[in-house]
């Protein structure tokens, strides 16, 4: 490129199809070279969308050159790398620098074959002003490609995938299990159970609990701790609780009583779930005892888990009694609820008291050690 160029028509091939399929080196500069590159790419893969983008860039160049103003323009083709990302974008930036060093262009028109190529707009803008962006997509496939790109970006977004994909995955797992055992109706109970667990974790801000659980299991395996066995126990108890909950709520599904269905699931599964929650905690406390670490906060958590399970069980029993709609059952239902809440409060206070006692003992021991050190120094 020997002439001074006012406008560059830049065609971007971010994933380097021009190099991978046609075997060409970029940057490709000039109308004839670009036309030859488009022809070679069409012979290599006639369905590649970059072909349309290259021809569109050539067309824009011709319109600019033959217009009334007779703009001094040039068409260039730059490409990235098949591994789209940092390496690809750096290669595009390097090729742009090479082109601009020869042309001294003060503006550019970007031509791409889709929204993904347009992600490199900031890279181009950091080097030259962009006057226009032209996206070239085959008419029949434009809605499909745009929709596919949006869906692809959503799946790659961690916030979206971690929020919406787990419930969908749980629903499909529930359907799979129910069809495998030959009882499609069980899917309703499984879906209620899985989604209920997910909503509880999400509501209490514990959506990362499973990821942390898996990481902890890996660490336990590598370090050979006792807690690994407790994690296996927790998984088994969780599975047993889910099966018991589904079996216990199935009869209410047949009656289309979905409130009692949920209560039946809780009544049958809550004890197993409490055990599943306690197993890794007890394993961790055992490891701390072996390693002679102080157990403080874990006591409060342990008793809080038991208290929570007791409240859920008492609430489900209360609703069962109230559903009978008799004075005696109403009285028994309220009695179950009151006693379960009272028991939960007492259990929680016991846990808090033990934690407070252990914390006080640790503080007292630390003060005694500090006193002994000061005495020795004196």
In contact, 226 and 287? CB cutoff 8 Å: yes
**Is 4 a residue whose pLDDT tops 60?**
no
User: What is the overall mean pLDDT for the chain?
Assistant: 77
Of 6-20, 52-66, 171-185, 240-254, the range with the lowest mean pLDDT is 171-185
Backbone φ, ψ for residue 73 (5° rounding): -130, 165
For 177-200, what is the mean pLDDT?
70
Least confident stretch, 105-119, 150-164, 186-200 = 150-164
Residue 237 has pLDDT above 80, yes or no: yes
Residue 350, both tokens = 């016991």
Cα–Cα distance, 197 to 203 (Å, whole number): 10
**Residues 6 or more apart in contact with residue 197 via CB below 8 angstroms:** none
- Where do runs of H (alpha helix) occur along the chain? 17-20, 31-44, 50-66, 86-103, 121-125, 142-156, 158-180, 186-203, 209-223, 227-254, 258-290, 297-323, 327-377
Local confidence band at 74 (pLDDT 50, 70, 90 cut-offs) = confident
Q: Tokens 């038991």: give the residue.
A: 306
165: tokens are: 């994909």
In which band, very low, low, confident or very high, does the pLDDT at 109 lie, cut at 50, 70 and 90?
confident
pLDDT over 50 at 357, yes or no = yes
Q: List the one residue out of 126, 115, 64 whose CA is nearest residue 92.
A: 126
Q: Would you state the pLDDT for residue 140?
A: 46
Most confidently modeled range among 4-18, 88-102, 145-159: 88-102
Quick count: other Cβ atoms within 10 Å of Cβ 336?
A: 20
Provide the pLDDT for residue 179.
74
pLDDT band at 148 (very low <50, low <70, confident <90, very high): low
- Please report the pLDDT score of residue 153 as a whole number: 64
pLDDT category at 143 given cuts 50, 70, 90 is: low
Q: How far apart are CA 78 and CA 88, in angstroms?
A: 11
**pLDDT value of position 2:** 47
**Which of 52-56, 65-69, 123-127 is the least confident region?**
65-69
Q: Name, in order, each residue with C-beta under 8 angstroms of 368's C-beta and a sequence gap of 6 or more.
A: none
Question: Could you give the CA distance from residue 150 to residue 144 in angstroms, rounded to a whole number?
Answer: 10
Residue with tokens 């969908």: 168
Complete DSSP assignment for 71-86: --EEEEEEE--SSTTH
Give the mean pLDDT of 29-37.
Answer: 88
Q: What is the 3-state secondary structure (H, E, C) of 286-316?
A: HHHHHCCCCCCHHHHHHHHHHHHHHHHHHHH
How does residue 133 score in pLDDT terms, banded at 50, 70 and 90?
Answer: confident
Kind of pairing between the strands at 73-79 and 28-29? antiparallel
Strand, coil or helix: 118: helix
Whether 154 has a pLDDT exceeding 70, the answer reads: no
The residue among 30, 35, 40 whose CA lies nearest residue 56 is: 35
Q: What is the pLDDT of residues 205-235, one digit of tens each?
A: 555 656 666 666 556 555 556 666 787 888 8
* Mean pLDDT score, 64-92: 79
pLDDT of res. 147? 67
Mean pLDDT check: name the lowest of 113-127, 167-181, 317-331, 364-378.
Answer: 364-378
- Please tell me what DSSP assigns to residue 205: T
Report how far residue 376's alpha carbon sits from residue 131's, in angstroms, rounded to the nearest whole number.
79
* pLDDT value of residue 296: 75
- Residue 122: pLDDT band (50, 70, 90) is confident
Q: Which of 48-52, 299-303, 367-371 has the highest mean pLDDT?
A: 299-303
Average pLDDT over residues 275-284: 85
Burial 182-210 (b: 16+ CB within 10 A, else e): eeeebbbbbbbbbeebbeeeeeeeeeeee
Which range has the top average pLDDT, 67-76, 155-164, 332-341? 332-341
Q: Which residue has the tokens 């033990």?
A: 354
Structure tokens at 162: 């971690």
User: Taking a C-beta distance cutoff of 8 angstroms, is the pair 317, 267 a contact?
Assistant: yes
- How far apart are the C-alpha atoms of 229 and 224, rounded to whole Å? 10
The residue with greater pLDDT, 1 or 119, is: 119
Examine the pLDDT at 332 and tell me if it is beyond 70. yes
Each residue's pLDDT tens digit, 287-323: 777 777 777 777 888 888 888 888 888 888 888 888 8
Pairwise CA distance, residues 236 & 230, whole Å: 10
């Amino acid at each position: 490129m020997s002439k001074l160029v006012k406008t560059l028509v830049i065609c971007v091939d971010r994933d380097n199809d021009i190099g991978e399929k046609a075997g060409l080196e970029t940057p490709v500069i000039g109308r004839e070279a670009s036309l030859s590159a488009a022809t070679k790419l069409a012979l290599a893969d006639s369905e590649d969308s970059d072909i349309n983008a290259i021809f569109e860039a050539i067309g824009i160049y011709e319109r600019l050159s033959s217009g009334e103003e007779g703009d001094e323009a040039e068409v260039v083709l730059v490409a990235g790398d098949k591994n789209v990302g940092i390496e690809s974008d750096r290669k595009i930036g390097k090729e742009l620098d090479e082109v601009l060093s020869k042309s001294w262009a003060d503006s550019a028109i970007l031509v791409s074959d889709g929204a993904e190529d347009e992600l490199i707009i900031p890279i181009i803008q950091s080097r030259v002003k962009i006057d226009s962006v032209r996206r070239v997509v085959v008419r029949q496939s434009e809605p499909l490609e745009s929709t596919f790109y949006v869906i692809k970006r959503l799946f790659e977004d961690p916030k979206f995938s971690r929020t919406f994909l787990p419930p969908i995955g749980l629903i499909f797992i529930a359907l799979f299990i129910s069809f495998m055992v030959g009882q499609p109706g069980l899917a309703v109970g499984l879906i209620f159970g899985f989604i209920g667990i997910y909503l509880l974790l999400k509501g209490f801000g514990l959506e990362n609990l499973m990821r942390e659980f898996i990481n902890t299991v890996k660490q336990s395996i590598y370090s050979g701790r006792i807690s690994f066995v407790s994690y296996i126990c927790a998984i088994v108890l969780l599975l047993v609780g889910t099966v018991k909950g589904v079996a216990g709520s199935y009869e209410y599904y047949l009656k289309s009583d979905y409130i009692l269905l949920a209560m039946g699931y809780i009544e049958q599964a809550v004890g197993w779930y409490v055990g599943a929650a306690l197993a890794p905690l007890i394993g961790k406390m055992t490891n701390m005892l072996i390693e002679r670490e102080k157990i403080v906060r874990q006591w409060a958590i342990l008793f809080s888990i038991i208290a929570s399970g007791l409240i859920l069980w008492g609430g489900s029993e209360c609703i069962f009694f109230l559903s009978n709609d008799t004075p005696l059952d109403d009285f028994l239902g309220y009695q179950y609820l009151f006693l379960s809440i009272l028991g939960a409060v007492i259990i929680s206070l016991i846990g808090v008291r033990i934690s407070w006692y252990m914390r006080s003992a640790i503080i007292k021991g630390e003060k005694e050690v500090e006193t002994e050190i000061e005495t020795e120094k004196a």
